[in-house]
Amino acid sequence: MNEKETIFPFRWGENARIITILVVILLVGLSTFTLVNSNFNSVGIIIWSIVFLLVFYFVLKTPLRLRINGPQITIEQIGHKTTILMNDIIAIHSVPTEILKKADRDFGSGGFCGFIGWFSTLEIGRFYIYATELRNFVCIKTQSKKYVVNCSDFEILLNYWENRVN
């Protein structure tokens, strides 16, 4: 069975855009200040190295698009692809924004390059989120992980899943 490929681009919401711009301005300013003052010691170098590695990590994990292609869903990021096999999926369902606004961040970005990383809530449990705006959330539950993505046309994704199950 040859299924049509469906692509959902991640659209950047205002919160993610503003936070990303502010973080970039702050990092450029602090980097310039540090270079001008040239007071490097080993602790400062270690701290800056950790900060830039984290920034680099979140830039690479910035979600670009969600692609449904036959037997898999792929979350494409700037420097990586996360593939979820349809056979591994237990359920796909929408998630109210109010639930995610109460989420605890275990390790992740709260807006820089989107909302990315490990979060948890009482309702969902622990999950990895890929989002660029704070609405239209879908939870994809597999045997081993839960993913939450924001999808501008989440009804299409839910219908795709329901048609596949039925």
pLDDT tens for 9-39 read 898 989 899 999 999 999 888 877 777 776 6
Please tell me the total count of domains within the chain: 1
Range list of H helices, 38-150: 42-60, 97-101
Spacing of C-alpha 101 from chain mean position: 15
Name the residue among 140, 99, 136 with its Cα closest to residue 120: 99
Domain range enclosing 133: 9-166
129 located within any domain: yes
58 located within any domain: yes
60 located within any domain: yes
1 located within any domain: no
pLDDT band (50, 70, 90) for residue 127: very high
Q: What percent of the chain has pLDDT over 70?
A: 95
143 located within any domain: yes
pLDDT of residue 116 exceeding 90: yes
Say whether pTM exceeds 0.85: no
96 located within any domain: yes
4 located within any domain: no
111 located within any domain: yes
